[in-house]
Amino acid sequence: MAAANKKNPKLAVYKFSSCDGCQLSLLDLEDELLDLLGAVNISYFLEARRHVEPGPYDIGLVEGSISTQDEAERIVEVRRECRHLITIGACATSGGIQALKNWADVEQFKRTVYAHPEFIETLDTASPIAAHVLVDFELRGCPVNKYQIVEVLTALIVGRRPQIPTYSVCVECKRAGYVCVLVSGGLPCLGPVTQAGCGALCPAYGRGCYSCFGPCDSANPRALCGHFEQHGTRRGDLVRMLRSFNGYLEPFKQTGDEYESSLNTKQDLGVRD
Amino acid sequence: MRRDGMFAVAKDQLDPLICELAHDGYTVIGPTIRDGAITYDEITSAAMLPRGWTQETDGGHYRLKRRTDDACFGFVVGPHSLKRYLFPSRLKLFSVTRDGQGGFSPDVEPPPAPKYAFVGVRSCDLAAVAVQDMVFNSEMPDPYYRQVREQMFVVAVNCAEPGGTCFCSSMDTGPRCSAGYDLAITELSTSFAMEVGSERGQAMLERVRHEEADANARHLVDLMMSTAAKHNMGRSLDTADLPEILMSNLEHRQWDQAGNRCLACANCTLVCPTCFCNNIYDRTDLSGDHADRYRNWGSCFALEFTYHTGGYIRSSRRARYRQWLTHKLASWHGQFGTSGCVGCGRCITWCPVGIDITVEATAIADDVRESLKRHGSGTKTEEADV
Ligand code: SF4
Ligand code: SF4
Ligand code: SF4
Ligand code: SF4
């Protein structure tokens, strides 16, 4: 690790309920890592180094959702010791995949999964960091795009606005010249309602977007899902599509809930006899 | 000297033509099949053309289809147009580096402009280039655009079989190419009828086997083109009074319906061969010593695009759809003296939910024309919405 430079901002990286993939993206910055180490002091980043410098910190990156009482208390402390707080990844910005429990019976999950459910302390919901404390900037994605991390850190250090688009994945898809898998292949692609940032990774490989970056600005999932429904996608599948990574974010949540409450037949649910 | 008239060229001369273009240093761009569509890509031989293929298009729908014959150009436009070559989706404009003495050293050398030969370009796309010329190649020319434009070679193709979303004949831009090409092909069953549009085209024609076409061939081409224009367009649009009707009915209920269906995904603008909006943005590196300025495709459907000091001026999808459609079909006339739509149908085909510019504009226009007939009043007045 480069020697600490007193003038550089102090960076802290925190983990809450998550898979570590977003922090790993930071370590995966092979070409930029040395530049990054020259520009910030890594003061707290347990996945990268055991050495910990005491707070307060200039920049805090937070991965993961709040899904336990302990986390709900810890995030308040984290907010107190960071001047700028940036959440990274779907878990931190929407609750993530674990937010699927928000629609389920958590007690039943505990009994089904764990031999000793009485040892498990968990909240009934997994929620985004911004539902608990003020967040200065959010980076979406499961996982985040590592270049967006560099961009937001660079912007913060230089003192300019980060160039993080909030328009749809379709914009990146068309700029790259990919052939639309929805129009030419009839795949239910969520790109038109999903925030850009991945570079249209899934369409690049001939697959529909799964919306791991969550809703874009002005997203209209109702109209898109209505179109999919007309073309044969079952309502139960639409609910599952909307709820995979970012289902707890609006307007995905409302659309998913509306579809769920309209499910009544086995066919709607996609149950195969 | 450029020769007028029409020439008969055997189909096996297409490959030599492509080779001759490549020999002259052109990067040859032509239609080819990629990922389930006929796209523009670099081609090195006639074998890369989608021979024997066509497409089925409708609102939000595109499928490749086998033809019953082995026509070389038996299809129409795909998702790409010449736009992506003349006005690339991302272009570095310049960069600056700190010189260590408190100043900056700029690097403003424009990126080298490739020398393209475009093969298989349709009439609507040539019209679209003429429209984009007014933006990028007029008083304040874009150096990159101008250079690509000046050195490009065009082998155009007349459309005998317009596609399901084509309406160039309504917009007076096709299906027969009238300008902007070096060579233009009409594909007949056993040969090409070729017309020459420039001295360069003439010189290129001399390098492949050809002969004077007979009167029959000329009549046949005329007949094919008038039939295509009159009877085979997938869509149509009555443009009479359309600019006035649209601009004086900005609160028509049809805008609400379109706004409810529209995803604001921007696909229509990005596939449109005349849409020119772009974003300029800067990238700085972590050291703060180096910055690059880029230009990339923007869209009036992006919320950020409508940001002015103080807020977003078109925050609803309805407002953005209306801005786009009225710009294409109405306010473009005031701005550039022409329509912003050349009738290529791409925005219809590649809209994920199949919103159709001809249907939306016609719904408003018919309603207004109808009420004009009934009441004789100028415009439909309605409650302004908030
Ligand atoms: S493939 Fe998906 S992301 Fe790409 S343009 Fe089509 S709908 Fe949008
Ligand atoms: S709009 Fe006209 S010129 Fe363009 S592809 Fe269709 S028929 Fe051909
Ligand atoms: S508005 Fe639509 S039909 Fe008209 S030129 Fe653009 S893409 Fe083609
Ligand atoms: S009209 Fe269609 S392609 Fe255009 S922004 Fe709306 S949904 Fe997207």
Which residue type is seen at B295? R
Lowest mean pLDDT among A51-65, B134-148, B364-378: B364-378
Instruction: Give the pLDDT confidence score for residue A273 in this predicted structure.
Output: 44
Average pLDDT over chain A reads 94
Is residue A25 predicted with pLDDT exceeding 50? Answer: yes
Residue whose CA is closest, atom 5 of ligand 4? B264
Residue whose CA is closest, atom 6 of ligand 4? B262
Residue pairs between chains A and B whose CB atoms are closer than 8 Å = 132
Q: Which residue of B87, B263, B269, B304 is the best one to mutate when testing the A interface, meaning the one whose CB has the most A CBs within 10 A?
A: B263
Provide, rounded to the nearest whole percent, the portion of chain A with pLDDT above 90. 89
pLDDT class of A5 with cuts at 50, 70, 90: confident
Residue whose CA is closest, atom 2 of ligand 4? B351
pLDDT in tens, B231-255: 899 999 999 999 999 999 999 999 9
Average pLDDT over chain B reads 95
Residue B12 burial (CB count, 10 A): 11
pLDDT class of B375 with cuts at 50, 70, 90: confident
Q: Where are the domains of chain B?
A: 6-231, 242-375
Is residue A268 predicted with pLDDT exceeding 70? Answer: no
Label the pairing between strands B307-308 and B290-297: unpaired
**ipTM, interface predicted TM-score of the complex:** 0.95
Instruction: Give the pLDDT confidence score for residue B243 in this predicted structure.
Output: 97
Domains defined for chain A, CATH in brackets: 10-158 (3.40.50.700), 169-269 (no CATH)
Instruction: Give the pLDDT confidence score for residue B379 in this predicted structure.
Output: 52
Which residue type is seen at A126? A
Out of B239, B325, B328, give the residue to mutate to test ligand 3, the one with the largest number of ligand atoms within 8 Å of its CB: B328
pLDDT in tens, A120-153: 999 999 999 999 999 999 999 999 999 999 999 9
A62, A16 contact by CB (below 8 A): yes
Is residue B225 predicted with pLDDT exceeding 60? Answer: yes
Instruction: Give the pLDDT confidence score for residue B386 in this predicted structure.
Output: 36
pLDDT in tens, A77-92: 999 999 999 999 999 9
pLDDT class of A265 with cuts at 50, 70, 90: low
pLDDT in tens, A175-185: 999 999 999 99
Q: How far is B14 from chain A (nearest CA, A)?
A: 26
Residues of chain B with C-beta less than 8 angstroms from the C-beta of A171: 265-266, 270, 297, 299, 302
The residue ranking higher by pLDDT, B310 or B167, is B167
* R_g of chain B computed on alpha carbons: 23
pLDDT class of A269 with cuts at 50, 70, 90: low
CA atoms of B285 and B297, how far apart (whole Å): 22
Sign, Cα dihedral of B96, B100, B102, B103: negative
Q: Confirm or reject: Cβ of B124 under 6 Å from ligand 2.
A: yes
The residue ranking higher by pLDDT, B385 or B222, is B222
Is residue A1 predicted with pLDDT exceeding 60? Answer: no
pLDDT in tens, B271-301: 999 999 999 999 999 888 999 999 999 999 9
Do the Cβ atoms of A177 and B261 come within 8 Å?
A: no
CA atoms of B30 and B18, how far apart (whole Å): 10
Residues of chain B with C-beta less than 8 angstroms from the C-beta of A185: 36
Do the Cβ atoms of B287 and A191 come within 8 Å?
A: no
Torsion of CA A210, A214, A219, A224, to 10 degrees: 20
Instruction: Give the pLDDT confidence score for residue B310 in this predicted structure.
Output: 86
A99, A127 contact by CB (below 8 A): yes
Instruction: Give the pLDDT confidence score for residue A270 in this predicted structure.
Output: 56
Is residue B114 predicted with pLDDT exceeding 90? Answer: yes
The residue ranking higher by pLDDT, A193 or B376, is A193
The residue ranking higher by pLDDT, A30 or B211, is B211
pTM of the model: 0.95
Q: How far is B303 from chain A (nearest CA, A)?
A: 7
CA atoms of A67 and A99, how far apart (whole Å): 9
